[in-house]
Structure 1
Amino acid sequence: MKKYLFLILITALSVSARAQERLSLKQCIDYGLKHHRSTIVYRNDQDAAQFKAKEAKAAYLPTVNINGSIDDNLKVQQSVIPAGVFGPTDIKVAFTKKFNSNVVAQVDQTIFDQSLITGLKANKFAQQQAQLNSEQNDETIIYNISNAYYQIFVYRQQLALLQSNRETYQQQLNISKLQLEKGVAIESDVNKIQVNYNNTSSQILAAESDLELSQNQLKNVMGYSLSDTLQIQNFVPDEPAADQTQIMFRDFASFNAANRIDYRLSEVNIALLDIDQARIRATALPKLTAYAKYGYIGFGDKLNESISGLSDYSAVGIKLAIPVFDGFKRNAQYNQARIKQVNARENLKLDQETFHLEFDNARTKLIKAQSSLDNDKRNIGLAESVFKSTDLQYQKGVTGLTDWLNSQYSLKEAQSNYLNSLYNFLIAKIDLEKANGTLKTFHNSL
């Protein structure tokens, strides 16, 4: 009994330790890549592509079929022997009986079919397509998790600043109430501070709600159970100084569209269209097939006679099919495939230009976001300095409550601008990785 209690205790402690573990961004992404249900879907698509390749190969392997039939000729068909062969009049004669049965096993083997040979080349590209789709889904998971993770960080920062501001208002509210009791302050001043305190409390409630929603969003994009507790580490953002901006962008100096998975998917699609075009053209070539069959056949006026009197037969042969005219069907199919292939190449060129534009725009946004973040970071320092100075002057009676409230409002506005700039900077970084096709590299570098 003690042994079981010990095992239960160890298990409970282990579960508790896992529940209290704080996950980093990399750990969240690793979890999502492993547990998000979409990964199962794309993994199944890869398996389906392999089975599709086996299906295509099966067309060039032997096929074996066994067929059987029993016919009840309700009215036996008769043939006519013309007059003059066995007599002066036509003679009607039946060359079968009321019942006939037939069982035959046949093996067919394709010897030459160029359209099948050409089609087999598509197997490799179909598997590449499934693999690239899976990688693209991984990139989507990386991007979504990073976005949600950054949101949580910013909401935490916002909540901490709001709580700090509320404490400041609370301290000043306590002082003002004492001053009111002593008659050195008026009630309207106390009410002004109370209003700002209440507004900040409402903002805290809203921030707590936003934080909870963002945590649920992170769980969702990770494939994590919404009912389980998820703890993440306190994130320290990478904020390069202004003189390091050029270093940060050095790796993004040139753009290569081939880094983008959607570009490589388009290339695979063009290859598949090329193969389809060649396959349709190959249907104009002759097809050669060999076969062998062995069977039993029986006839009788009664059913049991047609079965008991079976006699065997066999045959081997070669079939040659030469397409001559199909009403221009093949030509129409070929031209459709040709036009699709031409359009796919033109769309690839358009996509390449679009991808380059996305990269340039993302790079510009990151540069602007970095500049804005540096400015707002300096500004929040100035606002804090101004508030400390105004607060000291207010305590000494040199300045009034209006100046104190204005400086506190300016500080809150500077904090809000900084948080917006910080979030925009973090998202701009991940957007640039996405536009450059390097989300996997970003994940591995964490």
Structure 2
Amino acid sequence: MKNNLRVLLLAAGPGLLAPAGAALAQTTAPAARPTLGAATAAGIVPLSLQQAIDYAVKNKSSLLATRLAEQTAKAKVGEIRAAGLPQVNVAANVADNFKLQKALVDFGALGGGGSATTLTSSDIAAAQAGQTVNLGTVTLPAEPVPPQAFAFGLRYAGNTSASVSQLLFDGAYLIGLKAAKVYEELAKKQTQQAEIDVVEQVSKAYYSTLVARARLGLLARNVQRLDTVLYQTNETFKAGFAEKLDVDRLRVQRNNLIVEQQKAQRLTELSVALLKFQMGLPQDQPVQLTDSLGAAVVDAGALRQRLGSANFATGGGDTNLGGVPTAPAGGTAGSPGSEQARQDQQTALSGGRTNQLSATFNYNNRIEFSTLETQQALAGLDLANRRAGAYPRLVATAAYGFSGSAKNGGDLFAFRGPDSRSSNGFPNQNWFGFGNVGLALNIPVFDGFRRKYQVQQARIQQQTLEKGFETLRQTIDLQDAQSRTTLINALDVLDNQKANLDLAQDVARVSRIKFQEGVGSNLEVVTAETSLREAQTNYYAAIYDVLVAKVDRDKATGELYNQAKK
């Protein structure tokens, strides 16, 4: 973001302070937004930095999407936990076997001898007349009867049942419960990481708007002051005590200043639009920043003391560091205390951490470190889960239901039980109950070494994360040293630009007095005013650099999120 500011400064000219920019890659959701506070009569909402951060954390569209992922993680935990609860299912089906499946049946294998009893039509007639009939026997052919096609069942069939199963033991399930909770914790930390990024973006955009508005107000005062000088010079020219060239120079300078003011106005509006975007606030909502730039500027002396850095101009700042380049006070040359202070001074001035600061630095303050620890815990659970695949799995099962069949559809839904009888007294039950209980034990024996390679992959993933800790520590150390050095440099530049601004103001004041008294030239006034505006621009740019560097420093040390929550 700071680079964007520099690019805009170079593009617009030396007298313009541009706000930081960012590519508008997202769009604000059109959903209704909660109000920030009591709006003014004109509908303008007063907005402090803390209010901007709070609103962005609650309403930024990217954060809302991250929180949805967190809710998904919570639902995933419930899904895994549900696998260990009783599983109950109810099923029902009706089938029209319009073409019954047949199977070959060997009736000859059911028993019988080599002879059979014959029954003719005359025997039947005699029996009906009440006569005694003696049945004869015949010898069956020697060839066996071939298997005959036979259809089992009736055309219409139905079935309804209820089943229940309960997981009794599964090592992978127990580990999965632990992994689900860790996964939910990981989702929360990822949400916190996204919130930190939003706090950083909103803070920088807010500071950019403060600096841009302060610069715009300064340009307005410069225009007024230049108008006064131009009016006095023009009156002097009319009186014959000044040249027309002096008036023309001031007019050219005024025209340039007006153009810079117009550019600053438009870019200030752009910085406000950027702030609204980073907040997730609708662009049509007018806001009024209530924090002042003076209140936002940090105490350089106290900040230097926290950083353990001496002021390059005075040598002050850290109580452990003396003047530069003289030896630090509090010990004689060659004493241990003096040597330690000297080493700390050299370390501080080189951008590193002193021994005192290194001892107090906690990597766990960085959410990235904590997130990596959670990922490592997940990798360990994944490894245990792969190994648990070799454990047996025991499930208790039970089922109860009814099945029925009939020759036609209407008869199928008669639902006749065991007590039902036909007209001739024969049982005609068409639905029959069934039930079972049991245990299902699954013991993995051999899976083609699939689990072996899965365990290898999980172990390698765990080792990769362990290597990542060292890389992350080095990255955090670099970011800590870089942010510290950048902030110290920004403070030094701010001190220098403040001194330059004081000098430029004094030079401009003396030049105007000399010109009014007739002992100075108009060219001196124009040159002094140009130098003053350049010093003002550099000063406000230095203020912005310090504010941005402070935000980067807080993020590097893990304090940004905690400060935003206060």
TM over 0.5: yes
Shift of 1:265: 1.4
1:376 aligns with 2:401: no
From 242, 250, 267, the counterpart of 1:210: 267
Q: 1:33 aligns with which of 57, 80, 86?
A: 57
What is the distance in 2 between the residues matched to 1:244 and 1:288? Answer: 64
The percentage of counterpart residues that share the same residue type is 32
Structure 2: how far apart are the matches of 1:159 and 1:293? 81
1:184 aligns with 2:305: no
Query: Of the candidates 319, 324, 344, which is equivalent to residue 465 of structure 2?
Result: 344
Shift of 1:361: 0.2
Correspondence for 2:297: 238
* 3-state SS, counterpart of residue 324 of structure 1: coil
Give CA deviations for 1:310-335 in whole Å, capped at 9, x if unaligned: 11111111111111222222223222
Residue 125 of structure 1: CA displacement? 0.8
Match of 1:62 in 2: 86
Helix, strand or coil at the partner of 2:88: strand
Give me the whole-angstrom Cα distance separating, in 2, the residues matched to 1:27 and 1:293.
61
How far did 1:428 drift? 0.2
Task: Determine the C-alpha separation between the residues in 2 that align with 1:245 and 1:276.
Answer: 47
Instruction: Give the deviation of 1:48 after TM superposition.
Output: 2.4
* SS of structure 1 residue aligned to 2:195: helix
Instruction: Write the letter of the residue equivalent to 2:262.
Output: L
Distance 1:289 1:245, change over 3 A: same
Q: 1:228 aligns with which of 285, 289, 296?
A: 285
Q: 1:24 to 1:47 in 2, by over 3 A?
A: same
Q: Say whether the 8 Å CA contact 2:44–2:285 is kept in structure 1.
A: no
Residue 137, structure 1, aligned to residue 258, structure 2 = no
Are 1:431 and 2:552 an aligned pair? yes
Classify 1:324/1:241 alpha carbon distance in 2 versus 1 (closer, same or farther; 3 Å): closer
Measure how far apart 1:231 and its partner are: 0.8
Measure the CA separation in 2 of the matches of 1:132 and 1:49. 12
Distance 1:79 1:425, change over 3 A: same
What code does the residue aligned with 1:81 have? D
Match of 2:368 in 1: 262
Q: Is 2:100–2:154's contact at 8 Å kept on the other side of the alignment?
A: no
Unmatched segments (≥5 aa) in structure 1: 1-13
C-alpha separation in 1, matches of 2:395 and 2:186: 32
Unaligned runs of 5+ in 2: 1-37, 113-143, 309-317, 319-355, 415-429
Q: Which residue of 1 aligns with 2:223?
A: 166
Superposed displacement of residue 252, structure 1: 6.2
Q: Which amino acid aligns with 2:51?
A: Q
Higher Cα radius of gyration? 2
Counterpart of 2:464 in 1: which secondary structure?
A: helix
Aligned to 1:124: 181
CA RMSD of aligned residues (A): 2.3
C-alpha separation between the residues in 2 aligned to 1:292 and 1:444?
54
1:174 offset after TM fit, Å? 1.2
Q: Distance in 1 between matches of 2:408 and 2:110?
A: 31
Q: Greater CA deviation, 404-413 or 328-337?
A: 328-337
Q: After TM superposition, give the deviation of residue 17 of structure 1 in Å.
A: 5.9
Matched-pair contact (CA < 8 Å) for 1:112–1:288: yes
Q: How many Å apart are 1:288 and its aligned residue?
A: 0.8
C-alpha deviations, 1:252-294, integer Å up to 9, x for none? 6643221111221121112112112211211121111111111
Question: 1:49-88 to 2 correspondence within 5 Å?
Answer: 49-73=73-97, 74-81=99-106, 83-86=108-111, 88=144
Q: What pairs up with 1:81-120 in 2 under 5 angstroms? A: 81=106, 83-86=108-111, 88-92=144-148, 93-120=150-177
Say which of 206, 209, 223 aligns to 1:149: 206
Residues 71, 101 of structure 1: 8 Å contact kept: yes
One-letter amino acid of the counterpart of residue 103, structure 2:
Q
Q: Partner amino acid for 1:337?
A: A
Higher deviation after alignment, 307-316 or 327-336:
327-336
Partner of 2:48: 24
TM-score (norm 1): 0.90
Give the letter aligned to residue 405 of structure 2: F
CA distances 1:65-118 after superposition (whole Å, capped 9, x unpaired)? 122233333142213337544353343343333333222211111111111111
- 1:18 Cα deviation from its structure 2 partner: 9.3
TM-score (norm 2): 0.72
Aligned partners of 1:76 and 1:97 also within 8 Å: no
Question: What are the Cα deviations for residues 142-190 of structure 1, in whole angstroms up to 9, with x where unaligned?
Answer: 1111111110111122112212222222112112222332333222222
2:484 aligned residue: 363
The Cα shift of 1:401 comes to 1.6
> How many pairs are equivalent?
432
Cα distance between partner residues in 2 of 1:191 and 1:142? 49
Q: Contact 1:294–1:314 at 8 Å: present in 2 too?
A: yes
Shift of 1:207: 0.8
Q: Could you say which residue in structure 2 is the equivalent of 1:298?
A: 404
Q: Which moved more, 1:129-138 or 1:56-65?
A: 129-138
Structure 2 counterpart SS, 1:16: coil
Question: Which amino acid in 2 is paired with 1:255?
Answer: F
In 1, Cα distance between the equivalents of 2:40 and 2:46?
A: 12
2:564 is paired with a residue of what secondary structure? Answer: helix
Shift in Å, 1:406: 1.4
Between 1:194-203 and 1:331-340, the stretch displaced more is 331-340
